[in-house]
Structure 1
Amino acid sequence: MADLHRQNEHGSRNRTRFPTQPTPSAPAPELRGHGLRLRPWDAECDTDVETWLRGNSDPEFRRWNTPVKLVDGMEDARESLRLRAEWDAEGKCVSYCVTDAATGAPLGHIGVNDIDHFIRTARVGYWVLPEARGHGVATRALRLAARWAFTNLGTHRLELGHALGHDASCRIAERCGFLYEGTLRGAMFDAGRHDAFRDVHLHARLATDPEPGEGEGKGE
């Protein structure tokens, strides 16, 4: 991969230049569908900050995810959301608060992360609040975000990685057309630790892959 990047950097001046949507200063558009409204997070809104804190401090979230910096209070949550807003503005990621389209109630989060505008790849990640689980929220949100990334962001490949043993995420990936591609050894932190690692299941979907069926099934 390093050789490929080096080749891209020093290749012909006439190489194809891919679109870089959204532009660094353009906020991500709201997305609607499947009974959901995906809207940008607001780091200055206390309700959003509280929701972010609840999601990131939930025991089930921490069972499967170990951020570099844990979110343990309102100030941590606000700082974390402000950092994501900076990344969004720089075009590095797009972060959505997943809400119920009818009531506006927050349900969870979905992000299109690690956006590489040259090679047109990105990674998706999500979580669902405890009270919203079991209603297909993650599946519906992932379908919305993936469709937008392929049709509006110009992405060619979307990756989805989850800790080995996280069967719910495996099922969500499969329902959304993300094929299992293999196991990455020691590719993420172990639960609650920064000195130990665990394996990751890698799933991916290409813009040229067929659209998955609309049956939502159960689960997150």
Structure 2
Amino acid sequence: MPYLTRPVLPAGTLSRAPQPTIPTGDGLLLRPWRAEDAPAVHAAFQDPVLHRWHLRAADSEEEVRGWITTWQRAWERERSVEWAVADEADDRLLGRVALREIVLGDAVAEVAYWTTAAVRGRGVAARATTALARWALDGIGFQRLELSHSVTNEASCRVARKTGFALEGTKRSALLHADGWHDMHLHARVRGD
């Protein structure tokens, strides 16, 4: 049975070119991951605040190198795309921003991010998310980006609001964290917002 619509973004939309480096215009750089980022990622994942909101732990730099290899290959598969968020001046790792759960045919994806403890509260997540959303919606042609976070994660809610992701509702008991099931806020930004 044929579909009545064509894919909004065809296969190959991302992978036909190398993964780009995206400057934020205000001192940050979203760049592809490198193997030498492993020690900084491992250090970031020792932060108890990251453990509270993130579902993974990093037991070793070797484990993180495996993550980075997966992140580097993700661009070609077009199901997720991961960037390191770095200081443009000295390339110091400040965090991560990603598009996950990409469905090119529907032109939708989920935005995810984390920041290192040293820069938390300094606007890094919001600046990186703004640059990523601009690239995805205006540059690539995604129609909808979603952002989801625990209802008790007030910092992520501020990032979502600051970056133009409208609150659409609450998904009850939607994600299992280390401390139990969390209700999740669902925010979204669509092309033209």
Deviations 1:49-79 (A, max 9, x none): 1122122332111101213xx3211111111
Residue identity opposite 1:199 in structure 2 = D
Of 55, 58, 65, 2:47 maps to: 58
Residue identity opposite 1:34 in structure 2 = D
Instruction: Quote the residue 2:188 is aligned against.
Output: 204
Conserved 8 A contact 1:150-1:207: yes
Conserved 8 A contact 1:55-1:127: no
Residue identity opposite 1:200 in structure 2 = M
TM-score, normalised via structure 2 length? 0.91
Is the counterpart of residue 130 in structure 1 residue 117 in structure 2?
A: yes
* 1:153 CA drift (Å): 2.4
Alpha-carbon separation, structure 2, partners of 1:164 and 1:28: 32
Conserved 8 A contact 2:98-2:112: yes
Instruction: Quote the residue 2:22 is aligned against.
Output: 31
**After TM superposition, which residue ranges in structure 1, 4 or more long, deviate above 3 angstroms?**
none
Residue identity opposite 2:104 in structure 1 = H
* 1:135 CA drift (Å): 1.4
Conserved 8 A contact 1:113-1:122: yes
Conserved 8 A contact 1:158-1:204: yes
Deviations 1:56-109 (A, max 9, x none): 332111101213xx3211111111111222222211111111111122221111
Q: Secondary structure at the match of 1:79?
A: helix
* 1:132 CA drift (Å): 1.1
Of 86, 95, 107, 2:73 maps to: 86
Q: Secondary structure at the match of 1:152?
A: helix
CA RMSD of superposed structures (Å): 1.6
Residue correspondence of structure 1 range 38-187 to structure 2 within 5 A: 38-42=30-34, 44-45=35-36, 48-67=37-56, 70-187=57-174
Residue identity opposite 2:32 in structure 1 = P
Alpha-carbon separation, structure 1, partners of 2:157 and 2:5: 37
- Alignment: residue pair count: 190
Alpha-carbon separation, structure 1, partners of 2:162 and 2:7: 33
Alpha-carbon separation, structure 2, partners of 1:159 and 1:19: 17
Q: Secondary structure at the match of 1:134?
A: coil
Question: Percent identity over the alignment?
Answer: 35
Q: Secondary structure at the match of 2:106?
A: coil
Instruction: Quote the residue 1:16 is aligned against.
Output: 6
Conserved 8 A contact 1:163-1:198: yes
Cα distance, 1:31–1:50 mapped onto 2, change above 3 Å: same
The structure that has the greater radius of gyration is: 1
TM-score, normalised via structure 1 length? 0.81
Q: Secondary structure at the match of 2:105?
A: coil
Residue identity opposite 1:53 in structure 2 = H
| Structure 2: segments with no counterpart, 5+ residues | none
